[in-house]
Structure 1
Amino acid sequence: MRIWNQIRASLGFLGLAAVTFGLSGPALARESKPALWEISDKDTNIYLFGTIHLLPPNTNWRSAKLDKATQDAGTLVVETIIDEKNPAAFAAEYARLGVRAGLPPITSRVSANKQAALRAVITKSGIPEAALNNMETWAAAFALLQVQFKELGVSGNDGVENTLKQAFTAAGKPIQQLETNSEQLGFFDTLPEAAQRELLEGAVEDPAAAKQQFNAMFASWMSGDVKSIAQTFNAEFTNSPELKAALLQRRNANWSGWVERRMQQPGTVFMAVGSGHLAGDDSVVELLKRRGYRVKRVQ
């Protein structure tokens, strides 16, 4: 079960952005060319940058072309923004959508061969099982994922969006979001229960396997290999149409519509979203091309 890797790679909330994994020296030494596109007309310029929210520490992902694009841009647009000065507001929304009495026991929501692993993760988490019993399955999955993050040596300081937001804030440039926290959480809250249980089973995946999967995504991203990105970031959706529709197709359609509307206003925008949203047949890039826009690969 690899679907939770896609979640971490495609969403930037709930502390899932900017997870770090211990990669080898050679991986960090590779030349960085993450994919960057540009759409422009006579008075509007929009950069589309495929990010990865989880990065090894000290990853050198910047380039001259990327730096120029961020310097030229007057606005940064990301998937969502969590108010770091008021995290209680996000926590309250998470609880409003994710906590409900009368749910089946958490251990009954995974297959029998996963129950022992789930109990082990619950013990490590320190979260009372009674509390998890009252969580929607998707919310419980997110809570338990923190165990794997801890075991893998996570950090919230190295993610692409975090670095970009710091740079734009320091330059006094505005930062906008494509989705509110409620909208992002709502994608999971409205998933069919079967799809939510896929997420929960993913939360008890072997960390060694998770690391191997991340390494493949990381290598694709660093080299800007869009075909490989589509395969490594989004392959998990092949057997899960509900998750694909909710987490990928619907959001890509919304975001391509946002780009089209923004093209009617002058200015330069740097839009940074998970790389999985900019690769593949259902990507924002392909949807814009189908609408008649010339999407130029810059890097």
Structure 2
Amino acid sequence: MSRKKKTALLSVALSATMLASAFPAIAAPATLDVEVNGKKIEFASNAPIAQDGTTFVPLESTSKALNLSLQDAKNGTITAVIDGKQVTLQAKPKTIGGVTYVPVRIIGEAAGYEVRWDAASRTIELTSKIVKEGGKGFLWEVKNGGNTIYLVGSMHIADDSFYPLHPSFEEAFAESDYLAVEVDITSANESDVQKLVEKLGSYQDGTTLKDHISAETYKQLGEILVKNNLKADALDKFKPWVVETTIATLKSMEAGYQSTVGIDLHFIQKAMERKIPVIELETYESQLTMFNSFSKDLQEANLKTTLDNFELVDESVDQMADMWKKGDDAALLKFTESMSVNEEYRKAMLDDRNIAMAAKIDGFLKGTEKAEYFVVVGAAHYLGDTGIVKLLQDKGYTVTRK
């Protein structure tokens, strides 16, 4: 894997799920909600706009959520590819604040969705008229003594194109008695998490970021922040690991990927609906402490890589999303192995955590309850010589790819 793909690492492949809600706010809330097949579209700073009874939505992010490939948008028409066919939409675009907007009903219906307005929740609901089968993803099964464990490799951020998931996921979850995740992002008090980030991720000795990284890296960061309508010193109080994840999250949000649509949260919400217990394999504090324990050199190196490849983050996340949807084990293994370039990084992010999580899964398998567990953790934790699959095999279990 090339270095550019690492820019999306913390927020996509591993356990930065909780960081998006804990870091500095960078997106304005939308006045109206738009849902595609029950999943809310996150529009970042460009919210839907209602004018004269018509709701206009940002063209680029909405097209992505509808799996509609844009070709052109000018002269009062929009040319796009839908289901492999080029079509022309008779929807006159509007340009507002440099962003192209189109009527949601016209673009939704052209893409094959039924469009409805829910006045109570102020939500525009787009429902596909064609039932799609979602991506293959990563799913394994382990059995022992009447206990069954389903191991799911997650992408912590996603978009609506991931859904509906492949039936194998929903069928396995329907049979499960417990859901296990890295952290339950719905259970923590947001204020407490913010305080924890402030405590661990900001300087307490009167110094600022500028005092801890090179002048070149600091200048590069400031230029990117200014280009994104933030002050050059907006993140000065935070340590490099916080800044890196904030910057990567900013760019992935622009590309339409959100933790609110991630595989983890999808099943946490379903567990709440079914009223089944959610087990945390880790804690907010343990994950944040891990990031904070990175050496000064590693923190700046990771930040520099993210800054160098800022404009490529969306491309990297697209590639990882494609890997997940295809269930490409070879690509996942290659991605995981790329993390071994830096021993400190690999040991903290993967090796130590894999051992701890595999031990807890081993405990589930040896339990006397004869229960079924649905375990959802970052996909990069499973493969390789120190991955959870190998660790369980070394304990004598048969792990079956589904």
Sort the TM-score into its range (normalised by shorter chain).
0.7 to 0.9
Q: Which residue of 1 aligns with 2:239?
A: 136
> 183, 195, 202: which one pairs with 1:92?
195
Q: Quick one: structure 1 residues 103 and 254, their matched pair in 2 at CA, closer, same or farther if it must change by over 3 Å?
A: farther
Pairing 1:237–2:339 present: yes
Q: Give the Cα–Cα distance (whole angstroms) in 1 for the partners of residues 396 and 253 of structure 2.
A: 45
Indicate if the aligned counterparts of 2:133 and 2:166 stay in contact, CA closer than 8 A.
no
Q: Give the Cα–Cα distance (whole angstroms) in 2 for the partners of residues 187 and 181 of structure 1.
A: 10
Indicate if the aligned counterparts of 2:134 and 2:165 stay in contact, CA closer than 8 A.
no
Q: Give the Cα–Cα distance (whole angstroms) in 2 for the partners of residues 248 and 105 of structure 1.
A: 30
Q: Which residue of 1 aligns with 2:355?
A: 253
Q: CA deviation at 1:154?
A: 4.3
Q: Quick one: structure 1 residues 125 and 4, their matched pair in 2 at CA, closer, same or farther if it must change by over 3 Å?
A: farther
Pairing 1:185–2:189 present: no
Q: Which amino acid is the alignment partner of residue 240 of structure 1?
A: N
> 168, 184, 204: which one pairs with 1:101?
204
User: Structure 1 stretch 45-54 or stretch 103-112: which is displaced more?
Assistant: 103-112
Indicate if the aligned counterparts of 1:19 and 1:149 stay in contact, CA closer than 8 A.
no
Task: Give matches, 1:113-124, under 5 Å.
Answer: 114-123=217-226, 124=228
Q: Which residue of 2 aligns with 1:290?
A: 394
Q: Give the Cα–Cα distance (whole angstroms) in 1 for the partners of residues 221 and 171 of structure 2.
A: 47
> 318, 322, 336: which one pairs with 1:219?
322
Pairing 1:14–2:19 present: yes
Q: CA deviation at 1:139?
A: 2.2
Q: Quick one: structure 1 residues 83 and 64, their matched pair in 2 at CA, closer, same or farther if it must change by over 3 Å?
A: closer
Q: Which amino acid is the alignment partner of residue 280 of structure 1?
A: G
Q: Which residue of 2 aligns with 1:59?
A: 162
Q: Give the Cα–Cα distance (whole angstroms) in 2 for the partners of residues 268 and 198 of structure 1.
A: 42
Q: Quick one: structure 1 residues 136 and 204, their matched pair in 2 at CA, closer, same or farther if it must change by over 3 Å?
A: same
Q: Which amino acid is the alignment partner of residue 347 of structure 2?
A: A
Q: Give the Cα–Cα distance (whole angstroms) in 1 for the partners of residues 289 and 174 of structure 2.
A: 34
Q: Which residue of 1 aligns with 2:382?
A: 278
* TM score, norm. by length of structure 1: 0.87
Q: Quick one: structure 1 residues 156 and 6, their matched pair in 2 at CA, closer, same or farther if it must change by over 3 Å?
A: closer
* TM score, norm. by length of structure 2: 0.66
> 224, 230, 239: which one pairs with 1:126?
230
Q: Give the Cα–Cα distance (whole angstroms) in 1 for the partners of residues 332 and 399 of structure 2.
A: 18
Pairing 1:3–2:6 present: yes
Pairing 1:37–2:42 present: no
Larger radius of gyration: 2
Structure ranking higher on relative contact order (CA contacts 8 Å, 6+ apart):
1
Q: CA deviation at 1:106?
A: 2.5
Q: CA deviation at 1:110?
A: 4.8
Q: Give the Cα–Cα distance (whole angstroms) in 2 for the partners of residues 68 and 173 of structure 1.
A: 15
Q: Which residue of 1 aligns with 2:301?
A: 198
Q: Quick one: structure 1 residues 147 and 6, their matched pair in 2 at CA, closer, same or farther if it must change by over 3 Å?
A: closer
Q: Which amino acid is the alignment partner of residue 150 of structure 2?
A: Y
Q: Which amino acid is the alignment partner of residue 395 of structure 2?
A: R
Q: Quick one: structure 1 residues 154 and 56, their matched pair in 2 at CA, closer, same or farther if it must change by over 3 Å?
A: closer
The SS at the match of 2:260 is coil
Identity over aligned pairs, percent: 21
Q: Quick one: structure 1 residues 109 and 85, their matched pair in 2 at CA, closer, same or farther if it must change by over 3 Å?
A: closer
Q: Unpaired runs of 5+ in structure 1? A: none
Q: Unpaired runs of 5+ in structure 2? A: 23-39, 43-60, 70-82, 84-131
Q: Which amino acid is the alignment partner of residue 181 of structure 1?
A: Y
Q: Which amino acid is the alignment partner of residue 263 of structure 2?
A: V
Indicate if the aligned counterparts of 1:77 and 1:176 stay in contact, CA closer than 8 A.
yes
Pairing 1:151–2:254 present: yes
Indicate if the aligned counterparts of 2:185 and 2:265 stay in contact, CA closer than 8 A.
no
Q: Quick one: structure 1 residues 207 and 197, their matched pair in 2 at CA, closer, same or farther if it must change by over 3 Å?
A: closer
Superposition RMSD in Å: 2.9
Q: Which residue of 1 aligns with 2:273?
A: 170
Q: How many residues align?
A: 295
Task: Give the number of the structure whose residues are more often helix, by fraction.
Answer: 1
The SS at the match of 1:38 is strand
Q: Quick one: structure 1 residues 205 and 103, their matched pair in 2 at CA, closer, same or farther if it must change by over 3 Å?
A: farther
Q: Give the Cα–Cα distance (whole angstroms) in 2 for the partners of residues 176 and 46 of structure 1.
A: 13
